[in-house]
Amino acid sequence: MAVDRCVCHNLTFSYLKQVADANSANLSMLMQLTDCCSNCGMCTPYVILMLQTGATVFPALSASKVQALMDSARG
């Protein structure tokens, strides 16, 4: 099953990419502009990956990939 949105807010990654591109937004700014990643947080690693790659549809990520992405976002 493909992952293509922040489910809690029903925001597609395509929409989030448009907002990010239009505002040169990083994760923090994108969260402020759209409220993505602000409820359950399950979309956070996908949004990070979207910002890194430009892709907007993803396969379900493994736990290790999720952890790596979250670690990279923390610096």
DSSP element (H, E) containing 13:
helix 13-23
pLDDT of residue 30: 97
Domain boundaries, the chain: 5-74
pLDDT of residue 54: 97
pTM metric for this prediction? 0.93
pLDDT of residue 38: 94
pLDDT of residue 14: 98
pLDDT of residue 74: 85
Which residues in the chain show pLDDT less than 70? Answer: none
DSSP 3-state of 54 = coil
